[in-house]
């Protein structure tokens, strides 16, 4: 058996037995090319890479395959993950930085290509979320790649391309919008030309980019295009503006090098009729004529376009190219803007929500997004920003409090009952501290004014008002739940029988909002003591109490140091609560998914804990890096939460959901809450989302639970898969059906 020679940094490791080397040798010696073992040594996952699967007979939906790169500390091996294990990736059980044990694998030869084959991982078990193998490795990239004898020249095994040879590149692990892999070229817009021979040469164009869209991946089964990408740019010269479309192979070559302000000299382009249904940036502020009927197409062939990126030093004033224009607004001006109008904003970030995913209108495709608060000193309220991935993965993952954030081409959203917020468009770009240099907006008067304001701030004061991660719901559900009598198909209401399927099909960090009809049958309150001594002091409460005709059981969980107050009602006092023990035996499903996870609660941001907080609030990375530290997270600041059991209206399905009321004006969720006061009862708190006044008065609220008796309600539930077996089920609002509007 011959292998690539290990680098000098791991030669000493060869004195140990290599599990991967032994596995490959055993696979080669078996007639079935299959190996099963129960005592496999652990290996670490250092990369998980996704790509469009090869179509098989009868397959309808676009599905994805995964290559997993593993190491035993001596060798690396890139393997194909059997499709039966894909669900482990979908739920973030199989993840980078973790140790796994491979209990069954096989070797697969490519029957249509000489010298190509790979290990297929067919069965595995997850050993540890934090690897015991990786701490022994100095540099992962220095470990040699293990390949079978005779396949040493395999480009697929040695480079950043998929093992299924019909695919030429990888997709981002969690969405289709971000560039992924070594094929995407980046660099400063220095003079550069890509030239191809062609017999047809239109008149050259000299233009400046004034807007840039995110990438669009349009790959699907049966499409014979290696790099099915498209990107739109709005370009201008002295005569006006027009859309420019970058197609296919030109996207990896040029997309990351073409930015707002870049000047291009174009040859061998084509003009085609514009696609009418695409989104467009709002460009009235440029005061240029807009040519919207046709668009400039740059193609890698037929004809092969010639694209020259003009060096900034070579740009001459006599070319008459227009200046880049922006439309920055302040927070104090936001309420005056019309719905769906476009604007640019700059602010100091005070809150960054966790990255979540939502299914797009195209099957099996996901958009990634996060919520952000940013202040600019013109209002006591922050900008509330819904930021979707803008094909700027590096920036998107590094947004954190205390950074200066610029977002262009945001759209205004006015929602009844909530403050206006801004959401991304396809043309939105984001920039944070460290990425502002050289951007055209740095000379904008509004930007300069903002920078002057930040110089009056004190970091320690601002830090006290920051937060990262956790559950965040915006905009709030409307005050009145409305359902059309004629058409209920567009509403949130679902059959309670569908909840199990919804929970089981959720993928990692996928977020869904659904509504069910039913009755609340039980309420539990959980409080976290401030210290271990406080928990031990609570032993005396390990007995039954009666409070206002309620029977309250108080128990102490000594392992987690939590005080759990389980609420039931005496049979004579409460057909609903008192009958729940019997009903529980009769329901066909009790989905016990409630409870508060650590990931549900935001944490105060500190500069010392910046890296671990960023890792915690971002998605699981495609590749392991030493920066994925084992540092523990800072403690959560949460006075307590309620766990509510909801019985479906037909009394067949029950589900547990957590309710986390807003108890302080410093919480991110407090921004935009309605100002209307309420009676601070259990029902009014579930309906409003906050305690009134904002303080922790759990016992008083529990004492009012009797009003929930026989009350027909509609519960708005937020679902989010947090990885592994953790599924977050939270109540965002409860409506009394008597208050529901039917149009």
Which CATH number characterizes residue 410's domain? 2.40.50.140
**What is the pLDDT averaged over residues 433-451?**
96
More confident residue, 617 or 551: 617
**What is the pLDDT averaged over residues 400-410?**
98
For residue 624, being part of any structural domain is answered with: no
Distance between CA atoms of 662 and 641, rounded to whole angstroms? 10
Residues 252 and 150 grouped into a single domain? no
For residue 169, being part of any structural domain is answered with: no
Q: Is 72 helix (H, G, I), strand (E, B) or coil?
A: coil
Per-residue model confidence as pLDDT tens digits over 555-567: 333 233 333 333 3
| Six token digits for residue 271 | 């003009």
Distance between CA atoms of 537 and 549, rounded to whole angstroms? 26
Distance between CA atoms of 399 and 352, rounded to whole angstroms? 7
Contact 70, 45 (CB under 8 A): yes
More confident residue, 214 or 574: 214
For residue 2, being part of any structural domain is answered with: no
| Six token digits for residue 489 | 């198909």
Distance between CA atoms of 685 and 666, rounded to whole angstroms? 18
Residue ranges of E strands in 195-302: 205-212, 216-217, 229-237, 240-247, 263-267, 270-273, 290-298
Residues 308 and 342 grouped into a single domain? no
Is the pLDDT at 405 greater than 70, yes or no?
A: yes
| Six token digits for residue 637 | 């600041």
Residues 6+ apart with CB under 8 A from 729: 503, 591, 593, 594, 655, 656, 657, 658, 717, 718, 719
For residue 173, being part of any structural domain is answered with: no
What residues make up the domain containing 582?
482-601+636-742
Percent of the chain with pLDDT over 70: 85
Per-residue model confidence as pLDDT tens digits over 509-566: 999 999 999 999 988 888 763 333 333 333 333 333 333 333 333 333 323 333 333 3
**CA distances in angstroms from 687 to 26, 495, 681, 684, listed in the order given:** 63, 21, 10, 5
The alpha carbon dihedral of 689, 695, 698, 703 has a sign of: negative
Structure confidence at residue 525 (pLDDT): 83
Structure confidence at residue 28 (pLDDT): 83
Residues 451 and 496 grouped into a single domain? no
Number of separate helices (H) and strands (E) present in the chain: 13, 34
**What is the pLDDT averaged over residues 579-606?**
86
Is the pLDDT at 425 greater than 70, yes or no?
A: yes
Contact 545, 210 (CB under 8 A): no
**CA distances in angstroms from 705 to 56, 545, 564, 646, 716, listed in the order given:** 56, 16, 17, 14, 19
**CA distances in angstroms from 282 to 241, 290, 391, 408, 597, listed in the order given:** 12, 11, 20, 11, 42
Which of the residue ranges 30-39, 57-66, 107-116, 273-282 would you say has the lowest mean pLDDT? 57-66
| Six token digits for residue 2 | 């011959």
pLDDT band at 2 (very low <50, low <70, confident <90, very high): very low
Structure confidence at residue 698 (pLDDT): 67
Is the pLDDT at 206 greater than 80, yes or no?
A: yes
pLDDT band at 676 (very low <50, low <70, confident <90, very high): confident
Say what the alpha-carbon torsion angle 74, 76, 82, 83 is, to the nearest 10 degrees: 130
Number of domains, the chain: 4
**What is the pLDDT averaged over residues 338-367?**
93
Structure confidence at residue 202 (pLDDT): 74
Which of the residue ranges 217-231, 279-293, 654-668, 699-713 would you say has the lowest mean pLDDT? 699-713
Residues 41 and 92 grouped into a single domain? yes
Distance between CA atoms of 676 and 689, rounded to whole angstroms? 12
Distance between CA atoms of 129 and 620, rounded to whole angstroms? 12
Structure confidence at residue 61 (pLDDT): 65
Neighbours of 59 (CB within 10 A): 11
Say what the alpha-carbon torsion angle 192, 198, 200, 205 is, to the nearest 10 degrees: 0
Residues 146 and 199 grouped into a single domain? no
Which range in 158-162, 445-449, 607-611, 634-638 is most confidently predicted, on average pLDDT?
A: 445-449
For residue 186, being part of any structural domain is answered with: no
Structure confidence at residue 562 (pLDDT): 34
Is the pLDDT at 29 greater than 90, yes or no?
A: no
Residues 312 and 255 grouped into a single domain? yes
**CA distances in angstroms from 529 to 297, 533, 556, listed in the order given:** 63, 9, 10
Is the pLDDT at 489 greater than 80, yes or no?
A: no
Q: Which helix (H) or strand (E) holds 449?
A: helix 445-454
Residues 490 and 597 grouped into a single domain? yes
Is the pLDDT at 266 greater than 90, yes or no?
A: yes
Is the pLDDT at 409 greater than 50, yes or no?
A: yes
Q: Is 287 exposed, middle or buried (0-12, 13-18, 19+ CB in 10 A)?
A: exposed
Question: If you average pLDDT over every residue of the chain, what do you get?
Answer: 85
Peptide bond preceding 405 in cis form (omega within 30 of 0): no
Structure confidence at residue 540 (pLDDT): 35
Residue ranges of E strands in 288-341: 290-298, 306-310
Peptide bond preceding 303 in cis form (omega within 30 of 0): yes
Say what the alpha-carbon torsion angle 143, 148, 151, 152 is, to the nearest 10 degrees: 30
Structure confidence at residue 731 (pLDDT): 94
Q: Which residue among 284, 319, 354 closes a domain?
A: 319
Place of tokens 């001594």: 533
Place of tokens 């739940």: 481
Q: Which residue among 107, 133, 158 closes a domain?
A: 158
More confident residue, 110 or 695: 110
Distance between CA atoms of 651 and 653, rounded to whole angstroms? 6
Structure confidence at residue 114 (pLDDT): 83
Residues 151 and 218 grouped into a single domain? no
For residue 419, being part of any structural domain is answered with: yes
Structure confidence at residue 143 (pLDDT): 92
User: DSSP H helical segments within 2-121, as ranges?
Assistant: 19-29, 86-90
For residue 12, being part of any structural domain is answered with: yes
- Report, in this order, helix, strand and coil percent for the chain, each rounded to 5: 20, 35, 50
Residues 79 and 228 grouped into a single domain? no
Is the pLDDT at 240 greater than 80, yes or no?
A: yes
Greatest Cα-to-Cα distance within the chain, rounded to the nearest angstrom: 92
Report the predicted TM-score, pTM, of the whole model to 2 decimal places.
0.89
**What is the pLDDT averaged over residues 485-498?**
69
**What is the pLDDT averaged over residues 188-213?**
69
| Six token digits for residue 614 | 């960023």
Residues 540 and 645 grouped into a single domain? yes
Structure confidence at residue 486 (pLDDT): 54
Neighbours of 442 (CB within 10 A): 13
Choose among 377, 393, 458: nearest CA to 432. Answer: 393
Percent of the chain with pLDDT over 90: 60
For residue 217, being part of any structural domain is answered with: yes
Residues 335 and 281 grouped into a single domain? no
Distance between CA atoms of 183 and 68, rounded to whole angstroms? 19
Residues 315 and 336 grouped into a single domain? no
More confident residue, 595 or 632: 632
Structure confidence at residue 703 (pLDDT): 80
pLDDT band at 708 (very low <50, low <70, confident <90, very high): confident
Q: Which residue among 440, 468, 496 closes a domain?
A: 468
């Amino acid at each position: 058996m011959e292998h690539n020679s290990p680098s000098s940094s791991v030669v000493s490791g060869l004195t140990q037995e290599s599990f991967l080397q032994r596995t490959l040798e055993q696979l080669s010696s078996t007639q079935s090319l299959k190996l099963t073992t129960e005592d496999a040594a652990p290996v670490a996952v250092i990369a998980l890479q996704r790509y469009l699967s090869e179509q098989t007979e009868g397959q309808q939906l676009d599905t994805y395959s995964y290559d997993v790169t593993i190491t035993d500390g001596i060798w690396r091996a890139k393997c194909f993950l059997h499709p039966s294990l894909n669900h482990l990736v979908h739920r973030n059980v199989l993840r980078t930085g973790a140790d796994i044990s491979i209990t069954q694998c096989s070797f697969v030869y490519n029957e249509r290509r000489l010298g190509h084959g790979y290990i297929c991982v067919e069965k595995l078990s997850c050993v540890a979320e934090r690897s015991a193998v990786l701490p022994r490795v100095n540099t992962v990239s220095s470990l040699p790649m293990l390949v079978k004898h005779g396949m040493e020249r395999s480009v697929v095994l040695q480079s950043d391309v998929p093992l299924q040879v019909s695919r030429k590149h990888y997709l981002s692990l969690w969405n289709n919008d971000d560039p992924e892999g070594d094929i995407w070229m980046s660099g400063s817009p220095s003079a550069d030309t890509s030239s191809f021979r062609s017999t047809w040469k239109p008149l050259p164009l000299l233009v400046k980019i004034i807007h840039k869209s995110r990438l669009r991946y349009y790959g699907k089964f049966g499409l014979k295009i290696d790099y099915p990408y498209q990107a739109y740019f709005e370009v201008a010269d002295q005569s006006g503006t027009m859309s420019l479309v970058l197609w296919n192979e030109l996207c990896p070559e040029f997309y990351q090098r073409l930015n707002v302000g870049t000047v291009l000299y174009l040859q061998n382009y084509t003009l085609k009729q514009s696609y009418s249904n695409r989104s467009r940036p709002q460009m009235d502020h440029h005061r240029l004529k807009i040519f919207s009927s046709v668009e400039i197409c740059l193609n890698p062939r037929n004809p092969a376009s010639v694209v020259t990126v003009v060096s900034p030093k070579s740009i001459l004033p006599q070319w008459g190219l227009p200046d880049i224009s922006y439309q920055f607004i302040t927070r104090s001006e936001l309420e005056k803007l019309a719905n769906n109008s476009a604007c640019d904003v700059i602010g100091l970030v005070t809150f960054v929500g966790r990255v979540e995913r939502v299914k797009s209108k195209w099957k099996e495709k996901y958009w990634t997004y996060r919520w952000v608060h940013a202040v600019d000193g013109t209002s006591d309220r922050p900008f509330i920003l819904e930021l979707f991935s803008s094909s700027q993965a590096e920036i998107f993952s590094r947004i954190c409090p205390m950074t200066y954030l610029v977002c262009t081409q945001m759209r205004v959203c006015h929602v009844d009952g909530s403050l206006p917020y801004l959401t991304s468009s396809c043309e939105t770009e984001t920039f944070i501290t460290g990425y502002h240099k050289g951007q055209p907006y740095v000379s904008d008067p509004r930007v300069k004014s903002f920078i002057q304001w930040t110089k009056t701030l004190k970091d320690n004061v601002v830090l006290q008002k920051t937060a990262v991660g956790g559950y965040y719901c915006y905009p709030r559900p409307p005050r009145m739940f409305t359902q059309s009598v004629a058409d209920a198909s567009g509403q949130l209401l679902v059959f309670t029988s569908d909840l199990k399927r919804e929970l089981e099909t959720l993928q990692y960090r996928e977020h869904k909002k659904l509504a069910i009809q039913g009755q609340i049958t039980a309420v539990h309150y959980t409080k976290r003591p401030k210290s271990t001594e406080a928990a031990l002091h609570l032993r005396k409460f390990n007995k039954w109490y009666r409070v206002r005709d309620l029977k309250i059981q108080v128990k102490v969980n000594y392992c987690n140091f939590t005080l759990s107050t389980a609420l039931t009602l005496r049979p004579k006092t409460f057909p609903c609560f008192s009958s729940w023990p019997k009903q529980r035996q009769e329901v066909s499903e009790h989905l016990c998914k409630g409870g508060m996870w650590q990931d549900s609660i935001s944490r105060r941001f500190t500069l010392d804990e910046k890296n671990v907080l960023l890792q915690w609030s971002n998605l699981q990375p495609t590749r392991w890096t030493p920066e994925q530290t084992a540092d523990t997270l800072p403690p959560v600041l949460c006075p307590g939460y309620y766990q509510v059991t909801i019985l479906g209206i037909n009394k067949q399905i029950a589900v547990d959901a957590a309710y986390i009321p807003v108890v302080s004006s410093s919480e991110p969720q407090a921004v935009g809450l309605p100002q209307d006061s309420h009676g601070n009862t259990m029902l009014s708190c579930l309906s409003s989302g906050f305690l009134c006044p904002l303080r922790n008065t759990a016992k008083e609220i529990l004492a009012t639970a009797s009003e929930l008796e026989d009350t027909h309600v509609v519960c708005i539930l937020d679902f989010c898969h947090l990885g592994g077996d953790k599924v977050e089920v939270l109540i965002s609002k409860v409506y009394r059906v008597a208050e529901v509007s039917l149009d």
